Structure 1
Amino acid sequence: MRALLAAALLAAATLAHAATELVIATVDNGPMIEMQRLARHFEQANPDIRLKWVTLDEGTLRKRVSEDIAQRGGAFDIMTIGLYETPIWGRRGWLRPLDPQAAYDAADLVPFIREGLSIDGRLYAAPFYGESSMLMFRRDLLAAAGLDMPNRPSWEHVRRVAERLHDPARGVYGICLRGRPGWGDNMALVTTMVNSFGGQWFDMAWQPRLDTEPWRRAIALYVELLRRFGPPQPESLSFNELQALFGAGRCALWLDATIGAAVITDPSRSSVARHVGFAQAPSGVTARGANWLWAWSLAIPAGTRHPEAARRFVLWATSKDYIALVAREAGWARVPTGTRQSTYANLDFLATARAAAAELQALHSADLKLPTLPPSPYTGIQFVAIPEFPAIGDAVGTLVAEALAGRRRLDAALAVAQQATQRAMTGRNANTSKTR
C-alpha cells in the first residue's frame, strides 16, 4: 500500500512539474472573473496545462499588453484585447491566427464582431464577450414623473429626463456617464456622442476635425449633463463604479456597455433590478455611430512558447460549450453575451435576459466600417483603428476631463486637442495608413 501511495504521489508530482503554464492577462470585469472560477473544468480536462492569471483594470491591461507585445517581451501566453488591437497587431505579425476547426462554428459569431477580429477571413482573436452601448433607465422613476423613453431617444430628450429626475437630496442622480480619462473610457462615450452630432475624428484627407461644431455640441452637452445632473467628481468614474451606483439605485439614467445589464437586472446584485428599462444610445442628428462596438477577446501573441496549449484554452473559453457551462454553474443570467447568435436564439437565455432584444439591436446597428455620417477614412466607431490613436485618444480624454472638472474652458480644450492631434498625425501617408 505504501509503495502504491508513493508511486501515485511521485506521478502527481512529475505531472505537476511537467505541466505547461499559461500566463493569461485579462480584465477585472465580471465575466472574466467568472471565467477564472470555471477554468478548473479546463484544467481537469487538460491536466498537462496550468493557468496563471494576471487580472488588471482596463487602462492598466491595455498598457501592459501593448508594451509587452510591441517589445516582444513574452510575458503572456494569452492576452485579452479588443476590436482595436486585433487587426493592427495581426497585420504586423504580432498575433497567431486561431484557425478554429469546424466544430467551433465560427459562423455562429455575431457578424460585425467576427469581421472586426478577422484579417482576410482568418480569425486572429476569439470574442469572450461582446458589447455595444445602450441607455439603461429606471422605469419606475420615469413613470412617477409622467415621462416616457422612446426606443431611440434624442440627446435633447435624454437631457430633459435627466433634469427632471435629478434629485440629489434623495440620493438619485439624473444621469451617470463615464468621466475617467482614456481612449477606452470617457472617449468611448464622447466619440459616439460626436458621431451622433454628425462629427468625426478625421476627414478623408486625415485632417483632424476636433475644432468643429459637432465636437463643441457633443462635449458641451456631455459637460452639462455631468456637472448639473451627474454624481460628484464624475471625472473619476468608469464602468465598474457606475454599474455599482446604478445597482444601488443612485442613477436614473445610465448610458454604457450593454454587458452592464446582466448585473443591474439581477436581484441578487441590484436593488433596482425589476425597475430597469432599456433603449438604444441617443442620437443627435444621426443614429450612425451612436452605438459603440467592442469585444473583449482572447488572442495568442506570436512570441508565446506554448501556442498549441494556448489555442486549446482560447477555443474552449469562447465556445458554445463554455456558454452552456456557465449556464449550468451560474445560470443563464451570467453567460457571456454579445458573441454568438445561438445564444440569442436560446429560449432559456431569452426568458432570463430582459435586455437581450435591446442588446442585439445595438450590436446589429454598430457597423465598424460606417462609423460616421460624413465619409471617414478609418474603421472603428468609438475608436480609430490606427496605431496613433491610443496616444491621441488618451491626450484628448485628459483635456475633456479637465473641461469636465472646470479646469479648462471648452473652446480652449478643443483648440489644444486639435493642435495635439495635428502634431501626432504629421507626416502620415493617407494612402498607406488606412485600416479598412
Structure 2
Amino acid sequence: MTPRTRRLHHLLPPVALAVCGTLLAACSGAGGSGGSSGGHSINVLMVNNPQMEDLQKLTAANFTKSTGIKVNFTVLPENDVRDKITQDFSSQAGQYDVATISNYETPIYAKNNWLASLTAHTKSDTGFAQNDILPALQQSLTYNGQIYAEPFYGESSFLMYRKDVFAAKGLTMPANPTWDQVADLAAKADGAQSGMKGICLRGQPGWGEVIAPLTTVVNTMGGTWFDKDWKAQVNSPAFTKATQFYVDLVRKHGEAGAPQAGFTECLNDLEQGKVAMWYDATSAAGSLEAKDSPVAGKLGYAPAPVDQTKSSGWLYTWAWGVQKASKHQDDAWKFISWASGKGYEELVGKQLGWSRVPAGKRTSTYSNPDYVASASAFAKATETALEAANPSNPGVQPRPAPGIQFVGIPEFTDLGTQVSQQISSAIAGQTSVSSALDASQKLAEKVAGKYAGN
C-alpha cells in the first residue's frame, strides 16, 4: 500500500470522511442515482486503501473519458466503510451502485439477495478474461454457481523485515520462520536503531483489524473459534496460548500506541523506521517498494510464521460488488470490468509504477515481465502465499465454516468486533488475556447456540 504522502486521510483527521479526488468531480450527496443531469453516472463506496486512492485519481482521465460514465466516489476507513456498506446493501437503499466487499461478505450478501449476479456480464464481456482470475479468489466470490463480485486485488499475509537492520545486528531470518523464532528476533531487533521497536502487530479493535492476524496465530498454534460441532473454543488452552503469545509480543517488543494501531499505522511505522518487522497483508509490499518509499529495497519477505501448521497466511480480497437495487448495473459492470481488468494493471504500471499494481488476482500478472521485474522483491513471496492459503482447512482440526482470518458466518462481524475490543484492552494492559477470553467465550457460545445441532 502506498506511502503516507499519497494518502488523503493522512492529511486529515482519521475520522469517517467522504473523500473526493482532485481529478474527479465532487462526491455525490445522498440519493439513489447520484448523476449529473443528462449523463451516465454511478456511485461507488470504497475503503480508503492506497490502491483505491490510485484508482480514484485515474478514473476521470481514463475510464470516464473513454465511456462517458462519471464515477462519484465515497471513500471511508475500513471499519466505517463496512458499516455503511452493510446498512445500504441490507436495506437495498440503492444509494450506492458498487461497493468494495470482501470474500467474507460476498457469499453472505449473495445468500441474502443483496447483490446482483455478475455471471452474465463475465460471459458476454470476453475481454475481461474471467478465466484469468486466480481460482481460489474466484471460488471465494461465487455462491450457488453464480459470480457475485470481482477482485480488485487479492492478498495473503507474510512477514516483512528490514534486511539492513538484520545485517547490522547479525540477525538471520529463517526461510520458514516459526512464531517463537520471530519473537526472539523481535527482542534482538528492539532498539536496533533509535526509537525502533522489534515488530508491528495490529492491536486496533475491529474484526478486520486485530482479529485478522491474531486468528492466523490461533490457527497455527492449534486453536479455533469453533470446533466442528459448533462448540465455542475461544477460552480453550490453544486459543489462550496463542492470544497470550500475541499480546505479550506486542506489549514487550511492539509498536508505540499498539491498541490503536491497524494496517495503516503499521505501514507508517515500517516506512518511517519505527519497527524492524511487520506481519500483515502481502498487499502492503507494493507501497513499501514504491519509488518514493524510504524503505524501498531495504526489505525482505518471509512466509507467515507458523507453529503446528505448514503455512498460516490468510486469503483475502477487496472486490467489487453491485447492489441488487442498483438501477445502473450495466454501467456498474463497465466500471468493474475496467478496474479489475488487465488493462488497468497496465495503466497503473505505466503511470504510477509497477510496484503499485493492484495484484494478487490474475494469473497473468505473475507472467508479466514488467510487473515481475519491478516487484521482484515480493512477487514470488506473494504468489506462494496465495497458493498456500487454504480457507477450508487452515488449522489442525476440522472447522464448521470456511475462513482463515475470519469465520464465514454473518454473526462473525459482531462477534469478532466485540472480541477484538477485549483483546485490544488486554494489549493496553487494561485487562488480562484470561479475563478477555472468558468474556469472549460467552459471546461465542451465544453464536454457537444458533448453529449447534443444525
Shorter-normalised TM range: over 0.9
| 1:22–1:306 Cα contact (<8 Å) kept | yes
Matches within 5 A, 1:179-198: 179-198=203-222
Q: Does 1:213 align with 2:234?
A: no
Among 106, 109, 133, the alignment partner of 1:89 is 109
Residue 204 of structure 2 aligns to a residue whose secondary structure is coil
Partner of 2:172: 148
Q: Deviations over 1:335-388 (max 9, x none)?
A: 111111100111111111020010001101111222221001110110111011
Q: Deviations over 1:194-247 (max 9, x none)?
A: 001011111111111111122111111111111111122201011111111101
User: Quick one: structure 1 residues 266 and 328, their matched pair in 2 at CA, closer, same or farther if it must change by over 3 Å?
Assistant: closer
User: Quick one: structure 1 residues 156 and 320, their matched pair in 2 at CA, closer, same or farther if it must change by over 3 Å?
Assistant: same
Q: Which has the larger radius of gyration?
A: 1
Q: Does 1:284 align with 2:304?
A: no
Q: Does 1:50 align with 2:70?
A: yes
Moved over 3 A (4+): none
Matches within 5 A, 1:140-179: 140-167=164-191, 170-179=194-203
TM-score by length of 1: 0.92
Structure 2 Cα separation of the partners of residues 115 and 102 of structure 1 = 19
Partner of 1:275: 298
Matches within 5 A, 1:15-414: 17-40=37-60, 41-47=62-68, 49-99=69-119, 100=122, 101-167=125-191, 170-269=194-293, 271-288=294-311, 290-353=312-375, 354-414=377-437
**Percent of pairs with identical residues:** 35
User: Quick one: structure 1 residues 249 and 95, their matched pair in 2 at CA, closer, same or farther if it must change by over 3 Å?
Assistant: same
Structure 1 residue 430: Cα displacement: 5.1
5+ residue gaps, structure 1:
1-14, 432-436
TM-score by length of 2: 0.89
Structure 2 Cα separation of the partners of residues 62 and 427 of structure 1 = 24
Structure 1 residue 320: Cα displacement: 0.7
| 2:231–2:452 Cα contact (<8 Å) kept | no
| 1:125–1:297 Cα contact (<8 Å) kept | yes
Greater CA deviation, 95-104 or 278-287?
95-104
The letter for the 2-side match of 1:62 is R
Q: Deviations over 1:274-295 (max 9, x none)?
A: 210000110011134x101110
Structure 2 Cα separation of the partners of residues 45 and 430 of structure 1 = 55
User: Quick one: structure 1 residues 430 and 115, their matched pair in 2 at CA, closer, same or farther if it must change by over 3 Å?
Assistant: farther
Greater CA deviation, 290-299 or 146-155?
146-155
| 1:24–1:54 Cα contact (<8 Å) kept | yes
The letter for the 1-side match of 2:94 is G
What is the alpha-carbon root mean square deviation over aligned residues? Answer: 1.4
Greater CA deviation, 351-360 or 419-428?
419-428
Residue 227 of structure 1 aligns to a residue whose secondary structure is helix
Q: Deviations over 1:97-139 (max 9, x none)?
A: 1121332111111111111011234321010011110000011
Structure 1 Cα separation of the partners of residues 418 and 353 of structure 2 = 41
| 1:199–1:209 Cα contact (<8 Å) kept | yes
Partner of 2:25: none
Residue 339 of structure 1 aligns to a residue whose secondary structure is coil
Structure 2 Cα separation of the partners of residues 295 and 16 of structure 1 = 32
Residue 273 of structure 1 aligns to a residue whose secondary structure is coil
| 1:264–1:273 Cα contact (<8 Å) kept | yes
5+ residue gaps, structure 2:
1-34
| 1:112–1:368 Cα contact (<8 Å) kept | no
Residue 259 of structure 1 aligns to a residue whose secondary structure is helix
Residue 21 of structure 1 aligns to a residue whose secondary structure is strand
Structure 1 Cα separation of the partners of residues 297 and 355 of structure 2 = 14
Q: Deviations over 1:83-108 (max 9, x none)?
A: 00001111221111112133211111
| 2:250–2:258 Cα contact (<8 Å) kept | yes
The letter for the 2-side match of 1:305 is K
| 2:201–2:255 Cα contact (<8 Å) kept | no
Residue 18 of structure 1 aligns to a residue whose secondary structure is coil
Structure 2 Cα separation of the partners of residues 140 and 147 of structure 1 = 10
Q: Deviations over 1:170-215 (max 9, x none)?
A: 1111000111011000000110000010111111111111111221
